[in-house]
A = this chain, B = another copy of it.
């Protein structure tokens, strides 16, 4: 495969560009969608890591606190997350998944994964494994 100097950067750039394209298709073809990508990603995080503040979540998702505020407001209006007072700091607000939020997230996640499995159905097992490993690596990059 490409081993020209500098071509790694180009390939990774291509990875991001293609991801945008797949996200557009996934959104288009996912008719029953009730959650935005940011909402899904935020709910995943709340499920994995437990209650968190707006600022924490914004940092983790690499977005501004105000934007995360909007994301959480949407979830709260639908009853998918709820507020809890911070035990010691009156300024902070902890957000937690509700039972309904957990259910909605799992429903959405299943649909999304089914679509992705279909989209990658004609790949070899080895190729699919490369995608799985890439996901783990990129996820580590994204966390920093």
**A interface residues (Cβ-Cβ under 8 A, vs B):** 1-2, 6-26, 28, 37-38, 40-41, 44, 61-63, 109, 112-114, 116-117, 119-120, 123, 127-128, 130-139, 141-142
Contact = CB atoms under 8 A, between A and B. Distances in A.
Contact of A136 (B11, B28, B133): B11
A40 B21 CA distance: 13
- Of A10, A18, A119, A142, most B-chain CB atoms within 10 Å: A18
B26 A135 contact: no
Given A62-B24, A117-B9, A132-B2, A138 B15 contact: yes
A63 B44 CA distance: 27
Closest 7 interchain pairs by CB? Answer: A9-B113, A134-B134, A19-B19, A15-B135, A11-B132, A18-B142, A11-B135
A127 to B, nearest CB: 5
6 contacts: A12-B120, A14-B136, A15-B135, A20-B38, A21-B61, A123-B137
